[in-house]
């Protein structure tokens, strides 16, 4: 069944507290990497916003990479969250990059015009290299 892969959520990707989204944060140089697992919608977006916000205000963070490689769903709530982080990073002359290979999410990013402001990369390594200016 084609649908099963599409709608079933991997239990490992369900965050504690019942949110169908988990975010793992790490650093590479001065870049904060936020890896998204699960679904990003109006219900989970506040969790995403707070989790990233707490870390991005630290002085060592210059740039942010949003890794949507393991995100299975996003709607326009995610677009608002991305634009919000972009505006905040812009104020401190920081950059935002997106790593994403999910065609449906890439389409959403294109429709919303995000991809004309924030560069899209197929994976994290490509995003890191670009932010480093390599």
What residues make contact with other proteins under the rule CB under 8 A? 1-3, 5-7, 18, 20, 39, 41-43, 49, 73-77, 79-81, 83-84, 103-104, 107-108, 111-112
Minimal distance, residue 108 CB to other proteins, in Å: 7
Q: Which is nearer to other proteins, 28 or 84 (CB)?
A: 84
The 8-class DSSP code of residue 79 comes to H
98 closest CA partner among 75, 114, 112, 113: 114
Minimal distance, residue 132 CB to other proteins, in Å: 29
Q: Which is nearer to other proteins, 32 or 108 (CB)?
A: 108
Minimal distance, residue 97 CB to other proteins, in Å: 19
Q: Which is nearer to other proteins, 1 or 60 (CB)?
A: 1
Minimal distance, residue 1 CB to other proteins, in Å: 8
HSE toward the beta carbon, residue 107, CA cutoff 13 A? 5
What are the phi and psi torsion angles at 21 (to 5°)?
Answer: -145, 140
Q: Which is nearer to other proteins, 61 or 83 (CB)?
A: 83
Cα 62 to its chain centre, rounded Å, is: 16
Residue linked to tokens 């507290």: 17
CB-based contacts of 84, cutoff 8 Å, min separation 6 = 49
């Amino acid at each position: 069944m084609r649908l099963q892969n599409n709608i079933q959520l991997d239990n490992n990707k369900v965050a504690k507290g019942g949110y169908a989204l988990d975010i793992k944060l790490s650093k590479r140089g001065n870049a904060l990497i936020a890896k998204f697992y699960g679904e990003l919608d109006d219900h989970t977006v506040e969790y995403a916003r707070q989790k990233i916000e707490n870390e991005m205000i630290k002085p060592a963070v210059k740039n942010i990479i949003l890794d949507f490689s393991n995100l299975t769903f996003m709607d326009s709530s995610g677009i608002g969250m991305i634009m919000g982080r972009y505006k905040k990073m812009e104020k401190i002359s920081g950059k935002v990059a997106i790593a994403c290979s999910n065609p449906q999410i890439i389409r959403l990013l294109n429709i919303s015009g995000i991809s004309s402001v924030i560069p899209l990369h197929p994976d994290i390594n490509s995003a890191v290299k670009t932010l480093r200016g390599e």
